[in-house]
Structure 1
Amino acid sequence: MELLIDPSIWIGLLTLVMLEIILGIDNLVFVAVLADKLSPTKRDRARIIGLVLALVIRLVLLSFISWIVTLTWPLFRIMSLSFSGRDLILLLGGFFLLFKATTELHERLENKEHHSSASRGYANFCAIVVQIVVLDAVFSLDSIMTAVGIVNNFTITITAIVIAMLIMIFISNLLTRFVNTNHTVVVLCLSFLLIISLSLIAEGLGFHVNKKYLYAAIAFSIMIEIFNQIAWRNLMKHQSSKPLLDRTSEAIMLLINKRNSNYLASLNSANFAEKECYMITGVLSLASRNLRSIMTPRDKIFWLNSQLPVEEIRLKLMNTSHNMLPLCYGELDHLIGIVRAKDCMISIASGEPMKTYEAVNPAIVVPDTLDILNCLKELRRAKGSLVIVSNELGVIQGIVTPLDILEAIAGKLTDEDQEETLEIKVSDKGWLAKGSTNIRTLQKVLNTKDLVRDCSNIVSLAGLLMSQCEKMPVEGKVLVINQWRFTIRQMIEYRIEQVWIERLAPHYKDTSKSSIVTSL
């Protein structure tokens, strides 16, 4: 009864429980590392067996405390060093722990796969249990010697050891799961075991190592690891707020973009050809692009006017390579329908009025604010022919065909479109580009992504320059966008026809607020 009301007894019990937990964490970490070598169905059993054996060994050693005290008596001397039974046990256990910690740490640093069951052979259960027992004996001896030195009461010592071990068994599953799911924590724990093994060897050789320094270093390392875990979780939280498509695109673009990835520099260049990178980039950026960036613009649409004489329509059909054509009444904005050139020729030969196509092949009109992925659905509804793109005022802006979608991914395919490469002339001092040059084609030629964002509505070089001007530009006007200088060389009426492009020096800094320089 006196034990229950004595405050010093409770303080000693609490102190001893905390100390046993701290000393037992090392044992628990190594049990978790060894149990990870077993099959998933045997890991929990090995962990529980290891901790129960640690409790049993501690109780057995505690019952022979009078004999354990004699282990500190010197057995023999080598030069100036004397060795006792305890020293020999600490040396053997320290070298064994050093060997296991070093091999495990080397395996992790070699970056070998640990969790691939297909290529991994699991260790023998009995062999793992034997290793756990050996480590339990080493850690238990040190734990018992420390406990007896703090509290000279057999009952309190047994109670503290049992309570501490039960707490460790309770938290072992959570700690093991956390250690095995965080590879950096595994390396950190193995480093702790490496330090502890060296301290055991030093004590076995008679050199006293103040445990405060060891635990201070371990506590500081744990604090740094906690900061790393917090930073990692915040990064994951920030990434999870982004759409899955954006996260996937950023990860893949980081791999294929040689400017931003040093990893690819060590790989064979055949792994990612330039065209393959271009196609992957096209696929990943497809959802963020708008129809205006891929459509055939209004001024390049080849359409048929039903008001023209039949012979003139027939000549137009014979001189075009297009298969599907918009049929209009008088002007482009008055749509009748979509006609097939072959069917139209047959209708002309049979004398059938072209107005009938309005009911047979109605035109599918989509807004210019529609994204490309939803436009694909409309193309399926149009049976793969074409869709008309219109603005909010009902004015036709262009057309989109399946070929336009494919070219947005793979680049230009037809010979006619290959003439667009002539829109940009390269010289030693810069680039001369037409104002109608597609902005994405220009960025590819300039090898930059700093001109417009993926979600920008800007389609052409002229559109980019117009968006930077507060009023209609004139010939000779110079605009600076990031590290690029654009000089308008030629204007036709109010249209930008030719632009001279130069790359500025890396140290160049534009002093204007809007990155625009007034005309020369």
Structure 2
Amino acid sequence: GVMLLASKSLTRFVNNHPTVVVLCLSFLLMIGLSLIAEGFGFHIPKGYLYAAIGFSILIELFNQIARRNFLKSQSNRPMRERTAEAIQRLMGGKRQSQNEDEPAGDVLPAGETFAEEERHMITGVLTLASRTLRSVMTPRTEISWVDCEKSPAEIRSQLLDTPHSLFPICRHSLDDVIGVVRAKDLLVALENGENIVAFAEKTPPIVVPETMDVINLLAVLRKAKGRLVVVSNEFGVIQGLVTPLDVLEAIAGEFPDEDETPDVIADGESWIAKGGTDLHLLQQILDVNTLVSTDDDFASLAGLLLSKSGQMPVAGEVIEMASLRFEILDLSEYRIERVRITRLKSENDWEQEQ
């Protein structure tokens, strides 16, 4: 009668805790072997069995507590984030090296579903929701803007010397933005002798706070119809600007302009990276996952090194973290310009070389 009454509860418990089944089968096997041994005349002290059973129950108790805490912490995380991590784990296997006698081409190794570029793009899409505007925007120091107080000849020369197609029109300072105009339209307005301020006021800037996430920014970019979006902080100071190309680069990698160089350049067994390199991009290039954390308030390589150092580093200073070595190459006033990145050799690497 007790067994009949408890059967439903026991069945539910076993279904929710499959590891208990293995534990019970182990106990049955242990007791069965003990009975068989005694049947052949070999006596096994019961203290050995009880000690093994008690220790196993204690370990299973800890296992159930750890599993419960893990499920509790997972339930507090968004489903989108958990799904993205699961897909990234499925794609995260190292590509198997091809044999020398295998033909080169786009043939993937056995068991490899995605090529390297495809994995980078899918990872960029999955992590887009967790990225901040600071990680995708063009920073303030790299913005090309037009001062409406300059002469028409100076403005025309600036437009012709810069490959950008959109320019913020400002008065004396970047923080005083009047409007955002296309370079070709502004050149036509200059030829017609129009007032630059009046012309720029026809297309006022679209300003968003730096706390906005990239997913919500997509709706703003659609309404902007190809124009750039200005990013401002809580004090009204311009921090940067974002274009649809910046969001595309966050997914597919860099598309440098004519006057730009790639943020990361391979140099033998090391890499030369700019201080403003996005950490998500750097992780993909270096094939690591220890540089970006959701709790950090920085988005660039320079911010990571400053946070790690705790002070402004000097040229030649070396900072090591995880399996990487960062050497400061160039500084410009209070900004890190270039950094050499080298992988630290593990014991297995030294043994292979020897």
TM-score (norm 1): 0.52
Rate the CA distance shift 1:250–1:292 in 2: closer, same or farther, 3 A. Answer: same
2:83 aligned residue: 248
Which structure 2 residues correspond to residues 406-421 of structure 1 after superposition, within 5 A?
406-413=248-255, 416=258, 419-420=261-262
> Which of the two has greater strand per residue?
2
SS in 2 for 1:370: coil
Instruction: Answer with 331-340 or 348-357: which moved more.
Output: 348-357
TM-aligned CA deviation for residue 237 of structure 1:
1.6
Rate the CA distance shift 1:455–1:338 in 2: closer, same or farther, 3 A. Answer: farther
The one-letter code of the counterpart of 1:291 is: L
Structure with bigger gyration radius: 1
In the alignment, the residues of structure 2 paired with residue 224 and residue 298 of structure 1 have an alpha-carbon distance, to the nearest angstrom, of 56
Q: Which of 374, 388, 405 lines up with 2:247 in the alignment? A: 405
8 Å CA contact 2:250–2:281 kept in 1: the answer is no
8 Å CA contact 2:170–2:179 kept in 1: the answer is yes
2:268 aligned residue: 427
- 1:460 counterpart = 2:300: yes
Rate the CA distance shift 1:497–1:176 in 2: closer, same or farther, 3 A. Answer: closer
The one-letter code of the counterpart of 2:90 is: L
2:69 aligned residue: 234
Deviation string for 1:392-450 (max 9, x for gaps)? 443322101121112112212356498315x434224x334343444433333333233
1:4 aligned residue: none
8 Å CA contact 2:169–2:181 kept in 1: the answer is yes
SS in 2 for 1:282: helix
1:446 aligned residue: 286
8 Å CA contact 1:424–1:437 kept in 2: the answer is no
8 Å CA contact 2:326–2:342 kept in 1: the answer is yes
Deviation string for 1:118-145 (max 9, x for gaps)? xxxxxxxxxxxxxxxxxxxxxxxxxxxx
1:362 aligned residue: 204
Rate the CA distance shift 1:359–1:169 in 2: closer, same or farther, 3 A. Answer: farther
TM-aligned CA deviation for residue 271 of structure 1:
0.4
TM-aligned CA deviation for residue 282 of structure 1:
1.8
Extract unaligned runs of 5+ from structure 2.
41-45, 95-108, 348-354
In the alignment, the residues of structure 1 paired with residue 75 and residue 259 of structure 2 have an alpha-carbon distance, to the nearest angstrom, of 41
TM-score (norm 2): 0.72
TM-aligned CA deviation for residue 476 of structure 1:
2.8
Rate the CA distance shift 1:483–1:176 in 2: closer, same or farther, 3 A. Answer: closer
In the alignment, the residues of structure 2 paired with residue 284 and residue 484 of structure 1 have an alpha-carbon distance, to the nearest angstrom, of 25
Rate the CA distance shift 1:479–1:177 in 2: closer, same or farther, 3 A. Answer: closer
Deviation string for 1:310-349 (max 9, x for gaps)? 3444454455543432121233222111223344344345
In the alignment, the residues of structure 1 paired with residue 299 and residue 50 of structure 2 have an alpha-carbon distance, to the nearest angstrom, of 61
Rate the CA distance shift 1:449–1:228 in 2: closer, same or farther, 3 A. Answer: closer
SS in 2 for 1:283: helix
Alignment coverage as a number of residue pairs: 327
The alignment-based identity, stated in percent, is 50
In the alignment, the residues of structure 1 paired with residue 186 and residue 279 of structure 2 have an alpha-carbon distance, to the nearest angstrom, of 36
> Which of the two has greater helix per residue?
1
In the alignment, the residues of structure 2 paired with residue 378 and residue 178 of structure 1 have an alpha-carbon distance, to the nearest angstrom, of 51
Tell me how large the CA RMSD over aligned residues is: 4.1
8 Å CA contact 1:466–1:472 kept in 2: the answer is yes
The one-letter code of the counterpart of 2:298 is: I
In the alignment, the residues of structure 2 paired with residue 227 and residue 471 of structure 1 have an alpha-carbon distance, to the nearest angstrom, of 43
Extract unaligned runs of 5+ from structure 1.
1-163, 208-212, 260-266, 508-520
TM-aligned CA deviation for residue 239 of structure 1:
1.7
